[in-house]
Structure 1
Amino acid sequence: MNGQNRKDITPGIEVNIVLKKDQRTGAKTRGTVKNILTNSKFHPHGIKVRLEDGQVGRVQDILSNNE
């Protein structure tokens, strides 16, 4: 699942994000969502989130749903 829709992302789920410094290479970072930073319902480049470890980036893949 991609990370373009805000409704698909909740705190506590595991995701792959692309950090600002990795946007050119597309290198992904795995982590658990702490908070959602994008207010809009949809973003073409991915919803921006903060991971538990403090890193901020745009969601590329949703790996697990803790529902």
Structure 2
Amino acid sequence: MDGKKRKNIKPGLKVSVVQKKDQKSGELTDGVVKDILTNSATHPYGIKVRLESGVVGRVQKIKS
């Protein structure tokens, strides 16, 4: 599944996100989606979400 498409992301989904501070290193943070912050249908760098832990980042991978 593609983290660049909003329709693929739902609250409660397990994902890996890259935080703003980690964009250069590419370090990923795992968590569960709480809120979807991107309004557009797609975004070239990934849909921005807030995880249940409070971390905000762009979805890079959707876990199964």
Aligned counterparts of 1:41 and 1:2: Cα–Cα separation in 2: 12
Runs of 4+ off more than 2 Å: none
Match of 2:24 in 1: 24
User: Structure 2: 5+ residue runs without aligned partners?
Assistant: none
Secondary structure of residue in 1 paired with 2:39: coil
Match of 2:13 in 1: 13
TM-score normalised to structure 1 length: 0.93
Aligned length: 64
Cα offset, 1:2, TM superposition:
2.8
Aligned counterparts of 2:2 and 2:19: Cα–Cα separation in 1: 16
**Which amino acid letter does the alignment assign opposite residue 58 of structure 2?**
R
Quote the sequence identity (%): 62
**Which amino acid letter does the alignment assign opposite residue 63 of structure 1?**
K
Cα offset, 1:16, TM superposition:
0.2
Aligned counterparts of 1:5 and 1:46: Cα–Cα separation in 2: 7
Cα offset, 1:26, TM superposition:
0.3
**Which amino acid letter does the alignment assign opposite residue 53 of structure 2?**
D
User: Structure 1: 5+ residue runs without aligned partners?
Assistant: none
Aligned alpha-carbon RMSD (Å): 0.6
